[in-house]
Chain A
Amino acid sequence: VSAKRVWLKPDFRD
């Protein structure tokens, strides 16, 4: 089991 989280494109709502 990978302890790492899946990378999703970083984003923000302004």
Chain B
Amino acid sequence: MTPESVPRIRPGARVSYDQVRESAVVLFPEGVLVLNETAAAVVDLCDGRATIGDITRRLADDFSGVEPRDVVELVERLVARGVVVLDG
């Protein structure tokens, strides 16, 4: 993965909001991921157009102290989990 990689939610998975847990979740046929606030912010930006670099810069508009390495690690975990695919 490079800063120019473009992540997107894979077909068959969707992001929703769990009102009981007050958390964003990714629903997919094999399971459910319950996201914390910053993971939800990253996933929201995985629109198939923004690069990893774009996502990190946009997060810095809303959060102080964004760690680019954290963004990369999360996307890598989501790819490994099969809910995000990378273009580019």
Contact = CB atoms under 8 A, between A and B. Distances in A.
B42 interface: yes
Contacts of B16: none
A10 B42 contact: yes
Interface string A1-14: 01011111111111
Interface residues of B, number: 26
Contacts, number: 55
Contact of B67 (A5, A7, A12, A13): A7
A9 to B, nearest CB: 5
Does more than half of chain A's interface fall in helix, strand or loop, or is it mixed? Answer: loop
A8 B70 CA distance: 9
14 contacts: A2-B64, A4-B64, A5-B37, A7-B38, A7-B63, A7-B65, A7-B67, A8-B38, A11-B38, A12-B39, A12-B77, A14-B32, A14-B33, A14-B81
